[in-house]
Amino acid sequence: MVDYKQTYLKDVQYMVEYKQTYLKDVQYMVEYKQTYLKNVQYMVEYKQTDLKDVQYMVEYKQTDLKDVQYMVKYKQTDLKDVQYMVEYKQTDLKDVQYMVEYKQTDLKDVQYMVEYKQTDPKDVQYMVEYKQTDPKDVQYMVEYKQTDLKDVQYMFEYKQTDLKDVQYMVEYKKTII
């Protein structure tokens, strides 16, 4: 947990704002430019883990997060301009896992857009498996309004993948998708 206020981040930027305000375009920006990552694991819970140059900056206000795990495995992967955008407002998250398996895939402009409004995630699983495919402009848009969701699992596994401009956008607004 690192407070990202008044902080200049060069390569990795996690920007999370949890405030009862009307936010637009809240972005979790993880920019990987000319970077070769291998076996990078993002875990909210750090147990016997050696992380280097990884910054987790999240502000939890009026939020009860338990066992939230962001696990992303990068194996032989060249990531560029990868953006994770997630905004949590008055949400009780438990065992939230983001895991996606990309095998020998060239993804471009893949957008995951989910709208969470006063939502309690429960048993929602987003699992997408890309094998030897070339997805372009793939959009996953799901609107959760006043629903009860728990155990949301996003599984992301990058193996021999060249990802460019992959954007994970989770917007909590009256946005027309």
Q: What angle do CA 116, 161, 104 make, to 5 degrees?
A: 110
DSSP state of 12: B
CB 30 within 8 A of CB 98: no
Convert the pLDDT of each residue in 95-150 to its tens digit: 233 333 332 233 333 333 333 333 333 323 333 333 333 333 233 333 333 232 23
Convert the pLDDT of each residue in 153-176 to its tens digit: 232 333 223 333 333 333 333 332
Q: What are the residue boundaries of the structural domains of the chain, listed by start?
A: 29-170
For range 21-39, the mean pLDDT? 26
Under DSSP, is residue 118 helix (H, G, I), strand (E, B) or coil?
coil
What pLDDT, on the 0 to 100 scale, is given for residue 113?
32
For range 58-66, the mean pLDDT? 30
Convert the pLDDT of each residue in 64-77 to its tens digit: 333 233 333 332 22
